[in-house]
Amino acid sequence: MFFRGRRLRTSAVLRDMVQETRLATQNLIMPYFVTETDDPGFEKPISSMPGQSQYSLDKLEARVAQAVDAGLTSCLLFGIPASKDPAGSGAYAENGIVQQAVRRLKQRFPTLFVVTDVCLCEYTSHGHCGLVTPSGRVQNDATLPLLADVALSHVRAGADMVAPSDMMDGRVAAIRDALDDNGFKELPIMAYSVKYASSFYGPFREAAESAPQFGDRKTYQMNPANRLEGLREAQADVDEGADIIMVKPAGPYLDLIRDLRNTFDVPVAAYQVSGEYSMIKAAAGNGWLDETQAVLESLIGIRRAGADLILTYFTEDILHKRLL
Ligand code: PBG
């Protein structure tokens, strides 16, 4: 006698019946890049992310309209401001590009769940996620009120959830306080809790024009070799009031997704980042693998590891091709 695992694989119906994990469109969040420009109809393809572009407000609205028609339920917004300064003031301007985009999308698609990325790096002239001293050190505590202002300005514009991605210590508490004090006690925070200093953000930095002008992000983003530290980061964010905790990137850090799922009782999100997207696109573009199968396999793997929500640039494609 030996184990006959093949018995449960004999037909498609049976395989489907005993499938342990599923992917649904409701699990997916589509990231978009919106540019501050006077050019109506502006669309700038991102060369390192085939199929993704920066959009002007009107183009974004048109693009989202198609996706909503195909079943999109949630998106994440990144802004590219017309000008940058050392304090990243475009990030918390009442009429900043993300604030405008949120107002526009929520007006046209009231039920679309709009999440905003809360960070300074796309808005600072130095490209870092916090304020920088003259000697080039990224300041933690001085940055917190600015991040709270960013979050509050997004929420005042109508954002349904804010997602701080800066990796300053204490930012979830600072944002929670600011929201609570201003009448937004019920507005959820999805924290980029376990965020690594990853080479897989490379294409994003072209997309969001947010590459650091000097140094790197290793004093605030995590060392890819560390796992226990990820648990401490997640614990801190849960204690400070994060409603959803995120692991980023996803594919190379499936163990952390599982750790968080086993350790915490809040929803866990995972971000399949730009480099993960571009790798599949590049290989598929060369005919080296089947894109659809690779996309679905990469995402079911992230679900199997324990993620409830997945942020992925493949969301639109999956919807338009009716893959789920
Ligand atoms: C901003 C931010 C980054 C990403 C999401 N928010 C870039 C970074 O930290 O350098 C990466 C997303 C991606 O690569 O798709 N801090």
DSSP structure string for 60-103? HHHHHHHHHHTT--EEEEEEE-S--BTT-GGGG-TT-HHHHHHH
pLDDT above 90 covers a percentage of the chain that reads 99
Categorize the per-residue pLDDT at 287 as very low, low, confident or very high, splitting at 50, 70 and 90: very high
Q: How many residues does the chain have?
A: 324
pLDDT in tens, 192-225: 999 999 999 999 998 999 999 999 999 999 999 9
CA–CA gap between residue 255 and residue 258 (Å, rounded):
5
Q: What is the pLDDT of residue 308?
A: 98
Q: How confident is the model at residue 291 (pLDDT cuts 50, 70, 90)?
A: very high
pLDDT for 90 equals: 98
Out of 194, 210, 302, give the residue to mutate to test ligand 1, the one with the largest number of ligand atoms within 8 Å of its CB. 210
CA of 271 to the centre of ligand 1 (A): 10
> What local confidence, expressed as pLDDT, does residue 10 receive?
98
Residue 151 CB neighbours (<10 A): 29
Mean pLDDT of 281-308: 98
Q: Does domain 21-320 have CATH number 3.20.20.70?
A: yes
- The binding-site residues of ligand 1, defined as CB within 6 angstroms of any ligand atom, are 117, 119, 121, 129, 165, 201, 204-205, 217, 273-274
Q: Could you give the residue ranges of the DSSP H alpha helices within 165-218?
A: 171-181, 202-208
Phi/psi for 301 (5° steps) reads -65, -40
Do residues 236 and 211 make contact, with C-beta atoms less than 8 angstroms apart?
no
Distance, CA of 61 to chain centre: 19
The reply to whether 248 belongs to the active site is: yes
What does the alpha-carbon distance between residue 149 and residue 162 come to, in Å, rounded to a whole number?
Answer: 12
Question: What's the confidence (pLDDT) of residue 93?
Answer: 97
Which residues, 6 or more positions from 52, have their beta carbon under 8 angstroms from its beta carbon? Answer: 33, 45, 46, 207, 277, 313
Rounded to the nearest angstrom, the distance between the alpha carbon of 204 and the centre of ligand 1 is: 6
What is the pLDDT at residue 117?
A: 98
pTM, full prediction: 0.97
> How many CB atoms are closer than 10 A to CB 308?
15
Span 4-11, mean pLDDT?
98
Q: Which pLDDT score, from 0 to 100, does residue 160 have?
A: 98
Separation of 88 CA from ligand 1 center, angstroms? 16
Q: Whose CA is nearest to atom 10 of ligand 1?
A: 201
Whether the CB-CB separation of 18 and 8 falls below 8 Å is answered with yes
Out of 59, 84, 195, 281, the active site residue is 195
Dig out the tokens for 290 from the structure: 């089947």
Per-residue pLDDT, 106: 98
pLDDT for res 48 = 97
pLDDT category at 140 given cuts 50, 70, 90 is: very high
Note the pLDDT tens digit of each residue in 18-53: 999 999 999 999 999 999 999 999 999 999 999 999
Mean pLDDT, to the nearest integer, of 104-113? 98
Averaged pLDDT for residues 145-155: 98
106 as an active site residue: the answer is no
Alpha carbon nearest to ligand 1 atom 5, residue: 165
pLDDT given for residue 283 in this prediction: 98
Please answer whether residues 175 and 151 qualify as being in contact, where contact means their C-beta atoms are separated by less than 8 angstroms: yes
Least Cα distance to 150 among 77, 205, 217 occurs for: 77
Which residues, in sequence order, are CB contacts of 181 under 8 Å at separation 6+? Answer: none
- Region of residue 112 (phi > 0: left; psi between -120 and 50: alpha; otherwise: beta): beta
